[in-house]
């Protein structure tokens, strides 16, 4: 069972350029992992390279900035600094950050509870 710790909101450009907020929920395990790796997290979505058109974008999260991507908006979720890249002005209601993997732990981001950006 996940326990969600830090809550924050990220200002993102919404429809017609208005600023809207995204609620960020970070599990305590993910927060500990990110703090141990510098305290910064980058979150973005991207479509798979090898698939046909119409494939939904998958959410990605990393403790290092992704090469070649720009347009991230910074926010602070408790002691963490989260950089979020809203795809095409769309945004989730809730951006969840969790920890996955037992042998090789990694941070995962969920768009309203899904690994796909809706």
Residue 76: give its domain's CATH number.
2.60.300
State CA 48 to chain mean position distance: 17
In the predicted model, is pLDDT for residue 41 greater than 90? yes
64-100 per-position pLDDT tens digit:
999 988 888 887 677 789 898 877 777 778 888 999 9
Report the domain count for the chain: 1
- How far is 11 from 63, CA to CA, in rounded Å? 21
100-111 per-position pLDDT tens digit:
988 999 999 888
Query: What's the pTM?
Result: 0.75
Domain range for residue 15? 4-47+56-117
Q: According to the model, what pLDDT value does residue 1 have? A: 41
């Amino acid at each position: 069972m996940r326990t969600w710790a830090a809550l924050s909101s990220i200002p993102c450009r919404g429809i017609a350029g208005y600023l809207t907020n995204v609620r960020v929920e970070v599990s305590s395990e993910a927060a500990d992992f990110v703090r141990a790796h510098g305290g910064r997290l980058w979150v973005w979505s991207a479509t798979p390279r090898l698939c046909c058109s119409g494939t939904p974008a998958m959410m990605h999260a990393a403790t290092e900035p992704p090469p070649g991507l720009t347009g991230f908006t910074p926010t602070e979720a408790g002691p963490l600094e989260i950089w979020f890249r809203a795809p095409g002005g769309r945004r989730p209601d809730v951006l969840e950050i969790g920890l996955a993997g037992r042998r090789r732990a990694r941070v995962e981001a969920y768009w309203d509870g899904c690994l796909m950006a809706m």
